[in-house]
Amino acid sequence: MDRILFGDNQFFAVNHISDEKSRAQSIKFKEDKTILDTIDISRNLGVETFMCTTHDRIYNICDMVRADPDKYSKFSIYPCMPYAHKYANAVTELGIMGTIKHYVPGNFFGSIFKGGMAVVSKDYVSIMELLIDAEMKMFKNINTPVIFLQNVITDLLLGLNMKDILKAYHDYVIKKYNAEPGYITMNMPMLLDKLESVGIKNPIICSSINKAGFRMSGGMELYEHTLKTRQLRAIAMQVLGGGAIPAKEALAYVCSLPNVASILFGASSKQNISQTISLINEFDEQNRKLK
Amino acid sequence: MIKVALIGAGKMGISHLSILGAHPLVEIVGVADTSKIVNDVLEKYSGMKTFTDYKKMLDEVKPDAVFVSVPTKFHASFVEDLLNRNIHVFVEKPFCLNAAQGENLIRLAKGKGLVNQVGYHNKFVGTFEEVKRLVNSGVLGELNHFIGEAYGPVVIRKKQETWRSDPEEGGGCLMDYASHVIDLINYLVSPITKVHGSLLKSIYSTQVEDAVYALLETSNHVSGVLSVNWSDETHRKMSTGITIIGSKGKIISDASELKVFLKSDDVPAGYSKGWNIKYVTDLTHGVDFYLRGEEYSAQIDYFINAVAGKGPNDKNSFESAWNTDYAISLIKNKKN
pLDDT of residue A116: 47
- Subunit contact B286:A89, Cβ cutoff 8 A: no
Please report residues of B whose CB lies closer than 8 A to that of A159. Answer: 17-22, 289, 291
State the Cα–Cα distance between residues B242 and A187, nearest whole angstrom: 31
Residue A109 has a pLDDT of 46
Q: How far is C-alpha A248 from the geometric centre of its chain's CA atoms?
A: 24
How high is the pLDDT of residue A93? 65
Give yes or no: residues B132 and B40 share one domain.
no
- Span B180-193, average pLDDT: 98
Q: Test B257 with A155 for CB contact under 8 angstroms.
A: no
CB atoms within 10 A of CB A277: 22
A132 — phi, psi (to 5°)? Answer: -60, -45
Helix (H) or strand (E) holding A265: strand A260-265
Mutation to test the B interface, candidates A11, A17, A197, most B Cβ within 10 Å: A17
| Residue B163 and residue B104 in one domain | no
Average pLDDT over residues B44-48: 95
Domain-embedded: residue B154: yes
Residue in A245, A254, A241, A246 with CA at minimum distance from that of residue A280: A254
Q: Least CA distance to B23: which residue of chain A?
A: A159
Nearest Cβ partner for B290 among A15, A88, A187: A187
State whether A19 and B35 contact (CB < 8 Å).
no
Between CA B132 and CA B189 the distance in angstroms is 8
Do both B19 and B130 map to the same domain? no
B143 and B280 fall within a common domain: yes
* Reduced DSSP (H G I as helix, E B as strand, rest coil) percent helix, strand, coil of chain B, to 5: 40, 25, 35
Higher pLDDT, B234 or A273: A273
Residues 6+ apart with CB under 8 A from A37: none
Residue in A18, A20, A159 closest to B289 by CB: A159
How many structural domains comprise chain B? 2
Check residues B31 and A82 and name the one with the higher pLDDT.
Answer: B31
A230-233 long-range contacts (CB < 8 A, ≥24 apart) are A230/A192, A230/A259, A231/A201, A231/A202, A231/A259, A232/A192, A232/A202, A232/A203, A232/A204, A232/A205, A232/A259, A233/A1, A233/A202, A233/A203, A233/A204, A233/A205, A233/A259, A233/A261, A233/A262
Which pLDDT belongs to residue B336? 67
Judge whether B24 lies within some domain.
yes
Predicted local distance difference test score (pLDDT) of residue A97: 67
Give the pLDDT confidence score for residue A26 in this predicted structure: 84
Residue B317: band (very low, low, confident or very high) from pLDDT cuts 50, 70, 90: very high
Among A16, A96, A162, whose Cβ lies nearest the Cβ of B45? A162
Q: Is the pLDDT of residue B183 over 50?
A: yes
Percent of chain B at pLDDT exceeding 90: 85
| Cβ-Cβ contacts under 8 Å, B286 against chain A | 213-217, 219
Is residue B303, in this structure, part of any structural domain at all? no
Q: Which domain holds residue B214?
A: 122-286+316-333
B136 shares a domain with B84: no
pTM for the whole structure: 0.93
Considering only CB atoms, which chain B residues are within 8 Å of A12? Answer: 236
Beta carbons of B52 and B32 less than 8 angstroms apart: yes
Q: Which of A13, A97, A186 faces B37 most closely, judged by CB atoms?
A: A97
- Shared domain for B190 and B135, answered yes or no, is yes
Same domain, B18 and B42: yes
- Let me know whether B116 and B127 are in one domain: no
Confidence of residue B157 (pLDDT cuts 50, 70, 90): confident
pLDDT bin (cut points 50, 70, 90) of residue B160 is low
Closest chain B CA to residue A13? B236
**Residue after which a domain boundary falls, among B69, B100, B120:** B120
Q: Are residues B153 and B221 in the same domain?
A: yes
B280 interaction partners in chain A (CB closer than 8 Å): 16-17, 242
State the count of interchain CB pairs (< 8 A) between A and B: 121
Tell me: do B71 and B147 sit in the same domain. Answer: no
* Mean per-residue pLDDT over chain B, rounded: 94
- Mean pLDDT over B54-83 rounds to 97
Closest-CA residue in chain A for B292? A152
The per-residue pLDDT string of chain A (291 residues; one tens digit each, 9 = 90 and over) reads 999 999 998 888 777 677 788 888 888 888 999 999 999 999 999 999 999 999 889 999 999 999 999 999 999 999 999 887 677 666 666 666 677 666 665 544 444 444 444 555 557 888 888 889 989 999 999 999 999 999 999 999 999 999 999 999 999 999 999 999 999 999 999 999 999 999 999 999 999 999 999 999 999 999 999 999 999 999 999 998 877 789 999 999 999 999 999 999 999 999 999 999 999 999 999 999 987
Residues of chain B with Cβ-Cβ distance to A158 below 8 Å are 18, 22
The residue from B120, B141, B169 where one domain ends is B120
Residues B136 and B261 in one domain: yes
Residues B110-129: what's their mean pLDDT?
97
Q: B-chain residues within 8 Å CB-CB of A27?
A: none
Give the pLDDT of residue A237. Answer: 97
CATH number for B115: 3.40.50.720
| Sheet with strand B50-51: strands edge to edge | B50-51, B26-32, B2-7, B65-68, B88-91, B116-118
Same domain as B183, residue B47: no
Predicted pLDDT of residue A114: 46
- CATH number of domain containing B153: 3.30.360.10
Where does a domain end: B104, B120, B136?
A: B120
- As a whole-number percent, the residues of chain B with pLDDT over 70 amount to 98
Listed in sequence order, the residues at least 6 apart from B321 whose beta carbon sits closer than 8 Å to its beta carbon are: B93, B94, B95, B102, B118, B120, B183
Domain membership flag for residue B298: no
HSE, CB side, 13 Å, CA atoms: give it for residue A256: 10
Domains of chain A: 4-83+139-290 (3.20.20.100)
Asked whether residue B301 is assigned to any structural domain, the reply reads no
The pLDDT value recorded for residue A127 is 81
B310, part of any domain: no
